[in-house]
Amino acid sequence: MKNITLLFFSVLVFGFSASGQIKINKLFKAGGDLINAFTLTDDAVAEMSRRAVLALDSMNKIDTSAYALRLDSITKDLSVDGLNLNFKVYQRDELNAFACGDGSVRIYSALMDAMTNDELVAIIGHEIGHVARNDAKNSLKNAYLKSAAESAAGSVSKGVAAQLSQSQLMELTHALASAQYSQQQEYAADEFGFEFCVRQGIDPYAMYNALTKLSQLSKKPGAHASALLQAFSTHPDSDKRAEKMKAKADELQH
Ligand SMILES: [Zn+2]
């Protein structure tokens, strides 16, 4: 009797999981070989982020003169364990910057106009903080799973493309360059940026100064919407971010 019960139980469980697996395969079919929630490995996410950066690089005008020279002079001695940092400037009038898991860091020219060198290092540190704490990776992962589910629902019969569709790639670039993070994630990235400045021998008030500036800029009417500024308008307590960084710098001074 016990064996029969066990058998029934097994059939139930196995039967359920087999059909569940088929549904899941269908759901993520459109994602090709990078696929589904269970097999979406770190390598696959790294490959997706690499492709997203390449796509963004090809869609933007990359500065090769004054901005590039300045960024090079600011960043030539920066390093982070485990990341092969590389930097580029996009000629854009949005105040924005982002970092990617492969060590790519992209700064928009308007942000360089608005910030001092030390403040730029602080912002670079903040963005790398999102990478170090996996915020950036999770944002990409979620965007991919969402786009895979959507395209599967829309075009299951279209066959499996062993690569990202153009629209999926666009969603990934958006998740990379315009990710919206929680207030907790922003606080943690600020902490990382602060420590980053201290480690690189930069003014410990640089993170405070950069956040103060961003907060003021976000209140300007007609300010260009950017992920960096949106963090201040979407999180009501964002002004506290600068104060926290000031307290940390004060503490270090004493
Ligand atoms: Zn952030």
Whether residue 59 lies inside any domain: the answer is: yes
Task: Calculate the alpha carbon distances from 158 to 28, 44, 150 in Å.
Answer: 13, 23, 13
Residue 207 Cα to ligand 1 midpoint, Å, equals 12
Rounded to the nearest angstrom, the distance between the alpha carbon of 238 and the centre of ligand 1 is 11
Nearest to 30 by CA among 162, 138, 140, 142: 162
Q: What burial letters (b/e) apply to 52-61, b meaning 16+ CB within 10 Å?
A: bbebbeeebe
Task: Determine the length of the chain.
Answer: 254
Interval 147-184: pLDDT, tens: 877 765 443 333 323 467 888 889 999 999 999 999 99
What domain range includes position 199?
34-253
pLDDT of residue 62 exceeding 50: yes
How far, in Å, CA of 146 to CA of 165, rounded?
A: 13
Q: Is residue 84 part of a domain?
A: yes
Ligand 1 centroid vs 127 CA: distance in angstroms?
Answer: 6
The number of domains in the chain is: 1
pLDDT of 242 strictly over 60: yes
Confirm if 89 and 111 have CB atoms less than 8 A apart.
no
CA atoms within 13 A on the CB side of 130: 29
Residue of 127, 171, 186, 191 with catalytic role? 127
Whether 28 shows a pLDDT value over 70: the answer reads: no
Greater confidence (117 vs 238) lies with: 117
Residue 19 lies in a domain: no
Would you say residue 212 lies in a domain?
A: yes
Q: Which region among 3-17, 76-90, 226-240 has the lowest average model confidence (pLDDT)?
A: 3-17
Protein residues within 5 Å, CB atom, of ion ligand 1: 186, 189
Residue 76 domain-assigned (yes or no): yes
Residue 7 lies in a domain: no
- Residue 139, domain member (yes or no): yes
CB 49 within 8 A of CB 102: yes
Ligand 1 mean position to 98 CA, how many Å? 8
Report pLDDT digits (tens) over 196-222: 999 999 999 999 999 999 999 888 876
| 245 lies in some domain | yes
243 catalytic residue (yes or no): no
Is the pLDDT assigned to residue 251 strictly greater than 70? yes
Using the CB atoms, write b or e for 10-20: b if 16+ within 10 Å. eeeeeeeeeee
